[in-house]
Every structure is written in C-alpha cells, then in structure tokens.
Structure 1
Amino acid sequence: MRTEICEMFGIEFPLLAFSHCRDVVAAVTNAGGMGVLGAVAYTPDRLEEELSWIDRQVGGRPYGVDVLVPAKLDLKGTDEAGGGLGAMLAAVPQEHWGFLRDLFERHGVPLPDFEAARRSTARGVGSQVTEQGATDLIDVSLAHPIRLIASALGTPPPRMVEAAKSAGVPVAALVGTAEHARRQVAAGVDLIVAQGGEAGGHTGEISTMVLVPEVVDTVAPIPVLAAGGIATGRQMAAAMALGACGVWCGSVWLTTEEAETPPHVKAKMLAATSRDTVRSRSRTGKPARQLRSAWTDAWEGPDSPGSLGMPLQMVVAEGAMRQIDRVAASGNEGARELANYFVGQCVGLMNTVRPARQVVYDMVQEFTDALDRLNALSGTGSGDGPAPS
C-alpha cells in the first residue's frame, strides 16, 4: 500500500495499533504496521523498561508512544494544581467511598486494606494525569527512537510539541469533532486521528462515518487517520474511501494472544455483541466507552452518588478495579459481574483469539478483497494482490 502515512513512517500498511501491551506493539510493528504504546499507566521508570524492551524487539522498525494530557482536570477541593496525595484523597466525598464499600459487599468481593489502596491509587493517578506526570513520560519517550508521539486527550501542551519537533518526531492528536481538530492543528500537530463515538476509551458522540470526512475536509492537507470501531479490512477500506490516509485501531488487539486483558474480561469480550458497551464516566470521570457490567450499571443507578470528574473518579475506581480483577481471577462470580474494560462497539466482531500479527495480515487481506469488489463494480480491475501469510 502507498499512502501518506506509509511514507511518513516507512511502514508497509497504513495501520497503527494503539495498545497498553508492549507485546502487541512489537508484533504489529514487526508485521508491517506500526504499534503505539499507551503509556498513561506507567511510571517513568516502568516506561523506560517497556520502551527498551520494544527497542530490542523491533530492530529499528517504527513505533510510537501515546500519553494522556487532559486539557481540564477537576481539582476542586485540592490544595494544589497537581492534586497532592492528601488533598486528592480528601477531595473525594465520603459518600463515594461508602458507595464503593456497599458495592463490594453486595457482590461478595472482599475489601482490600482500604486506606492503603486509596493512597496507592491516588499516588498513581496524581503522577499519571497531570501535566508534570505527562511531561516526565514525554521526556522518557523522546530519549528512545520513537517515530510518533500522540496526545490522547486534549490539545498537547506547547512543551510537548516543541520537544517532539526538536527531536524530529511527529505529533498526533485524537479528536472527536472538527472544532477539536482545528485547535490541534493550530497547536502544531502533524497528524490527526479522527475518533468516532464507536471507539473504546475516551470518546465523543459523533460516529466515525460522519466524523472522518468532516475532519479530513477541515484540516487538509494535514493527514488524517480514521478510528472508532475499526476491526476489519472492510472497515479499513471504507475509512480510506472517506478520505483517511490510514486507520488507528485499539479495541481489536484486546482479544489477541498477546493482549494484557485479564482472561475473565477477555472471555466477556469474546461473547459480547456490539450492544454490550456503554459510554460511562464511572472509571475516569470523562465519558469512556467500556463493557457494560454491574459496575457501570451501579454507577448509573438510582442509588449512585454520581461519577466525579477526572482525576477524582479515577482515585475511586482504579484501585477498586484492580481488586475486582484480582478476585475475579480466582473465580469469584460477584467480581466477574463487576469486571469490565475499555472497548469499542467493534467488540461484536472480536469473536476469536488470534496472534496480533495475524490480525494485521487478515485486515490487509480483507482490505484487498474489498478493493477487488469495488473495482469489479466499476470495471477497473483487481487490487494489488494478496496480503502476506
């Protein structure tokens, strides 16, 4: 394939794979696409270990890093802009901690050392979603031979753009509206990812089919990747027809052999339909598409105190989810009812476990087959031939 994205990064296929799993990132890069490591959950030291491992695996082939730099944080009630540990814990209303305790008890999930868990989670959240936390991750990333750095939530701060450009690394940003795309281009972004509401994780409401051509027209000649519910080569062909130069996929890797997804959650995904996801603030404080579960139902229910903003809802939710996953792994049914993960509506297409490399090859083959069908309709001949096997 020959697109602007292939030329920009020196890749065979215009397919970028977002994943929190280093194994997926390396596998997709080595298969001819480009893996992008989601770094938000890492400390700088841990990110250094992960990127060093990827460097050894890919042998100079291109990969990228994605960091989360929220444009707005809900830090009301904290005593400092960065949300210090004690202040961040104190800013969470007691009714939210009480609701969490009751939720665990109703589902028969043993409580951890609650105070220790709260402090550990707040410490991690405070280092992850603040500008200083993101800056530390950016510095680590740019010390490695990455070929792309992406801002997952909001306009990247000037320091990120300046540091990346000084290192010769293009900057990408995810957007959910044409207005967001304009702001990203004004901030100096080199590549726009137009992410429709079908996507997993933080997402807006506009569908991919509507959003992609709107963003393409808005930011031309800046290249655009399509994202949101894309898990097959047919969808990849549709995205290219809409004007995208390639695709950005995240959810489809969650049921691969290499994925970091807990086995009990992976089993839920394999059985799920496209109707089994919901946009909910219950894990991060911002609308994020995830598997519907007893967790999301409870936070939307009549007894819920309501989700807090980011990062305070993360202080409540992320430590709780780690405990839920630990207990669910032992077979606890209540924990399994609560367990979920971020995933897009394409989960209904994710019905088998495959190596990440095979997902790439299958998508490319389906893309070629789709082009052949379209060419047959127009009488212009066949595509470029089969994908690798």
Structure 2
Amino acid sequence: MSDVSRLHTVVCDMLGCEIPILLAGMGGVARSELAIAVARAGGFPTLGMVREPPQLIASEVAAYRSGSDRPFAVNLIPAATDRDLLTAQMETCLELGVTIFSFFWDVVPEAVARAKRAGCTVLHQVGTLECARDAEAAGADILIAQGVEAGGHVHGRTGTFTLGAALIGKTELPVVLSGGITTGTQFAEALELGACGIQCGTAFLATHEAFAHDYHKQRLIDASAEDTVLTDAFVLNWPAGAAVRVLNNSVTKALGPTLIGHDPSGIRHEIIAHDEGIPRLLQSTDSPLRTTTGELERMPLYAGMGVGTISEIGDAGDRLQQFCIGAIEALSAQPESIQSRRSIAWKS
C-alpha cells in the first residue's frame, strides 16, 4: 500500500514497526505463529506469556526469531503472577535479549524498574487515569488505554475513546487505544483523536494463525456485540474481582443478573478440560487452545465488543491490511486542512 506512510506515528519509531497496530498479548493465544504473521505484515507483535514457564517463553522466542527478525514484545502480568515465577520470566527474557516488555493490570513498579535498568522499552496497558499515572511514574514509555469494550481481562470501566481522550490530554507519553477496535474506520478515529496507534486482540484471535481452539474462533465469527458479557465469574488464577469480557455461555447464563461479585475462594474446583495433560478448572481464566480437549463451551471465550464486525476466520496479515485500507480511506475523506494538521501531530 503506497499510502501506508500516512499511518506512521512515533510509536512506529519507538517499536521498529511500519504500522502502529499492536497485537495484544493474549495469554495462550498470541504465540509465535501469530506474532510472525503480524510482524511480516508491518504491525507490532507481542507474545502473550502470562504466567507461562520460562521454558515456554524461551521456545516461543526462538520460534518467533526463526520466522522474523523484527522487534517484538513479551507480555507479562506482574500483579497476577507469583513473585518467583515473575522473576524467572523476566530473567529468561533478558537472557534471551528481549528488549521490549508489555505489562498489564495493576502497576508493579519493581517490574518496570527491572526492565528499565536493563535498557528495555516498557509498554503498560491501563484502564484508569490513576493506573496511567502510576505507570508513567514507574517509567513506562508507552501507555495502552484499554476500554471496557475490550475482550479478555478488563481493568477499567470507561469506554476506549473516552479513556483515550482523557489520557492524551494528561500525559506526554504516546497513547495507544485498545478495546473493541476491529475496523479501519476506528483505526482512523483513534489517530484523529491523537492516539499514536491501536492494539487489537479479538480481530487477530479470529485468524488461522492464532493458537486459540477452532471452537473459540467459530463462536467469535458467529457472535454480535450483544453476545458479550463482563463478569468476574472466570476468576481462578487471577486476583479477586478481575473481570473479563467473554461470549455468553452456559456458565454466564446460569449466573442470571449476578455477573459481578464472585469470590474465588468459594468456587469449587471442578475439572472440565485438559491441555496437554494439564487439568483446566471450571471458572478458571484458561480459554480453549488448539491443544485443549474437554467441555470447551464452559470455558471463557474471550471476545471484545467489536466482535460483530468479524465475519470470517482469515489470515492475520490480510486482516492488518484491511485495517490499513479502511483507515487510509477514512482519512482521505477528510478536508485537506485536517489531514495536514493530523499528519504533523502523528509524526511529531
């Protein structure tokens, strides 16, 4: 696409990508195959290594590097990871030469400081202004503003564009928008707002390269925005009160109106599936992967509110290109004076 340079922002320079579209660090789903596809298409890839053992991190980093020499991030969740495991994860990443980390949930200053001491770039996904201030104070380089429309774990309760507008007005750090963004038009709207890019999960989950189970992918393309719910019923493995946006299933329907307020200590541990011999519990945060067998319908099927715009399982590279085409078309429809002003802002 000859006009792709129109989408260039400071985030591209900071992360070494051509297009400011970030692959969300979806745990279990965003592995090397998907990351390579996004990188080859010009976007920025993230390996979702939430609570994964160091051995898997090492093998996924190696697999990624066998298919791409472009920069990438490793996503970790310090606040939801055992301290010893987090230490081992970060040590492994640094030994492997990982130079970009993507963190999420409550800010753990020690984790940010550890990465910064090693000379790494830190992205921090936030859901509130308070968390954004904490991340900036800890030394984060880029803020990812996650709105309540996002699939998977949702940290705040403010809409993506509302939160993004508030952050852009209060920080000098580059801001990336995340949550419910599945079209090129929304990509353009994010840039028009002053954001330096977008981060996408659901749009890339519904691709051939994602490590999600085919059942999960099919449910995504069959769903509409009204089929998603926000609940903390799938909370085992995470801190109490951690809400997720998922597709409605038999578990959420059985809750009736009581979608929020579930105490993990009171949840009975019932094995409903296995993943390469590892048991998966009812109401855990584990979503079905390619390697999962069992009662997939009762597992959390993460999906953002933009899911209704996705009608087929496609290639990740093609999906990223569709984002770009749609954004360029939307931006080209603007008056020339606005185009010129925005171009200067994005590249500054």
TM-score clears 0.5: yes
Deviation at 1:297, TM superposition (A): 2.2
Q: Indicate the residue corresponding to 1:47 in structure 2.
A: 57
Q: 2:88 aligns with which of 108, 126, 136?
A: 136
Q: C-alpha separation between the residues in 1 aligned to 2:334 and 2:249? A: 40
1:289 corresponds to: 245
Question: Alpha carbons of 1:379 and 1:55: their partners in 2 closer, same or farther (altered >3 Å)?
Answer: closer
Q: Distance in 2 between matches of 1:351 and 1:313?
A: 35
Query: 1:100 matched to which residue of 2?
Result: none
- Contact 1:236-1:247 within 8 A present in 2 as well: yes
Change (3 A) 1:373 1:308: same
Shift of 1:300: 4.9
SS at match of 1:65: strand
Give the corresponding residue for 1:360: 320
> 1:325 Cα shift?
5.3
Select the structure of larger CA radius of gyration: 1
Normalised TM-score (structure 2): 0.82
Number of the residue aligned with 1:113:
none
Question: For 1:115-194, what aligned pairs fall within 5 Å after superposition?
Answer: 129-158=81-110, 160-194=111-145
The one-letter code sitting in structure 2 at the alignment partner of 1:308 is: D
The 3-state SS of whatever aligns with 1:240 is helix
Establish whether residue 222 from structure 1 lines up as the match of residue 182 from structure 2: no
In structure 2, distance between residues paired with 1:245 and 1:325: 32
Cα 1:348–1:314 change in 2 (3 A) is: farther
Q: Which residue of 2 aligns with 1:57?
A: 67
- Alpha-carbon distance between aligned partners in 2 of 1:34 and 1:177, rounded to the nearest angstrom: 24
Instruction: Summarize deviations over 1:297-352 as a string: whole Å, max 9, x none.
Output: 234577x9962249x869768822599959x988x8xx454244222111111211
Aligned residues: 316
Which of 62, 65, 78 aligns to 1:69? It is: 78
How big is each residue's C-alpha offset from its partner over 1:133-166, in whole Å with a ceiling of 9 and x where there is no partner?
Answer: 22221221222343420111110331x2233223
In structure 1, the partner of 2:275 is: none
Contact 1:9 1:147 in 2 (8 A): no
Unaligned stretches of 5+ residues in structure 1? 74-128, 384-389
Instruction: Say which of 34, 38, 42 aligns to 1:32.
Output: 42
More displaced 10-residue stretch of structure 1: 341-350 or 163-172: 163-172
Q: CA offsets per residue over residues 343-369 of structure 1, 9 Å max, x none?
A: 211111121111111111111111111
Q: For residues 191 and 208 of structure 1, do their structure 2 counterparts lie closer, same or farther at Cα, with a shift above 3 Å needed?
A: same
Runs (5+) with no aligned partner, structure 2 = 272-278, 344-348
Q: Report which of the two has the higher share of strand.
A: 2
Contact 2:51–2:86 (8 Å) recurs in 1? no
Q: Write the distance in 1 (CA, Å) between the matches of 2:268 and 2:201.
A: 21
Q: Classify 1:319/1:365 alpha carbon distance in 2 versus 1 (closer, same or farther; 3 Å).
A: same
Distance 1:324 1:142, change over 3 A: closer
Distance 2:83 2:251 in 1: 29
CA distance in 1, matches of 2:71, 2:268: 32
On the 8 A contact 2:51/2:85 being kept in 1, the answer is no
Cα 1:314/1:6, change in 2 over 3 Å: farther
**Partner of 1:372 in structure 2?**
332
Shift of 1:45: 0.9
Bigger share in helix: 1
- 1:319 matched residue in structure 2: 280
Question: Residue 308 of structure 1 is aligned with which of 248, 263, 283?
Answer: 263
CA distance in 2 between partners of 1:192 and 1:314 (Å): 37
SS of 2:169's partner is: helix
